[in-house]
Structure 1
């Protein structure tokens, strides 16, 4: 589990509760619970997202994508480059066909697919086309999930404002009773509070985290594509190492070991 994501959500919630009860008793929290406002804001937001979804299964799957931010993602570029360098050494010493056996111990399906394409003797341009097409499809799926939460972040405050307008209209109708103005105004503002909570506590952080994870995954897979094509081209492992190091920040390049283990000149 990604502790950072869980910790961030919990701390945000804790700070919000702290702000509510500071200098008061915990019973004040009940002042922030208003069922009609919840129905308007949360219900309206979810209903709008359902309207925009590609069917109920698509809506449910988009909601489930929040679980992705709780999973620990292993996006270690240095480790990936080292694996590719090891594969290049195998190919250089034993030939491309030896990579098929090496592929059996690889968990990443994208890398394994690329290796098997190379072993099958697929044309390099076709290998690049196949892998880049898959990258595009992965990126589109990730963008769709992040976009769902972006749209929800926009809908939450909008429905909060709708609830506020409803409360203000009701308040103005009872304006002759000055004692009711304060409570009615408080009720009207609660929906704005709920809408802001939807957007800034949950939806926007989730969308940003999904985008960051997607960018890291795509970057790793781009390293794999370049590495696999270099192996297929028969390039020296040391040359492959230096080429792939360009994907890393200078401070991280020392984490990549020497790739030319007994290899000759390029």
Structure 2
């Protein structure tokens, strides 16, 4: 589980509730105030309108449900470890240096990463280096394209929330202005009308925008890891020294991870 995402989501709603309930005059909390922000028609208009609009934008329900389910990616730590990936590639380079490229085929059988395995099999088959790069980069672009589609889904939802919130507010205002005979109802009706705008802002800023940015970070990390794999495999195919490959791939790491890599026992490479 991604603790940072869970803490962010939970603490955000807790802080908001405390802000609603806090009474500055008495320096106390009145949690009954939260009931002022609960209105079923406003929920239906804002959330129902936003999510149903997204259904219209998607090619089919399977695509819609799949992108909606991508929310769980925010709650889980992505299985991306650049340090371990570089160590694996250096290990492969040592095998290739001692036993030849053909020896990598047996090693590939124990690798779970399909992208890495595909690259190993391509160089074992003697595929031209430029063709290997082209094939791997094409797959890389397709992966990134799918990621951007999911990110775009949440980005559109972040725009739909405030838009439908405003529609709900307009509906409330129209209903209020239709009946101005009793001035005492104006305040309560205005409050209900504004709740939909509140829900729209909540959907966008508490859920959608954080999801968009977290998915962008995950995408960037995964793409960079796969770029490391491409560069590493092409270096192995070119017959470069494992230590040279290590120094080349370490350039992908940030300073903190580079220090961790150098300090770790696994960072040692056979010359």
Is the TM value for this pair above 0.5?
A: yes
- TM-score, scaled relative to structure 1: 0.94
Which residue of the other structure, out of 106, 119, 123, is the alignment partner of 2:111? Answer: 106
2: CA distance, partners of 1:36 / 1:118: 61
Which residue of the other structure, out of 81, 105, 124, is the alignment partner of 2:86? Answer: 81
Deviation of 1:251 after TM superposition, in Å, equals: 3.8
Residue equivalent to 1:31 = 36
1: CA distance, partners of 2:242 / 2:268: 5
- TM-score, scaled relative to structure 2: 0.93
Q: Deviations over 1:124-148 (max 9, x none)?
A: 1111111101100000000000100
1: CA distance, partners of 2:209 / 2:108: 39
2: CA distance, partners of 1:254 / 1:105: 29
Q: Is the aligned partner of 1:195 residue 2:191?
A: no
Q: Is the aligned partner of 1:72 residue 2:71?
A: no
Q: Is the aligned partner of 1:90 residue 2:95?
A: yes
2: CA distance, partners of 1:191 / 1:173: 19
RMSD: 1.3
Deviation of 1:159 after TM superposition, in Å, equals: 0.3
Gaps of at least 5 residues in structure 1 are: none
Q: How many residues align?
A: 262
1: CA distance, partners of 2:257 / 2:48: 47
2: CA distance, partners of 1:127 / 1:213: 25
Deviation of 1:75 after TM superposition, in Å, equals: 2.3
1: CA distance, partners of 2:81 / 2:33: 47
What does 1:1-266 align with in structure 2 at a 5 Å threshold?
1-23=1-23, 24-257=29-262, 258=267, 260-261=269-270, 263=271
2: CA distance, partners of 1:179 / 1:197: 29
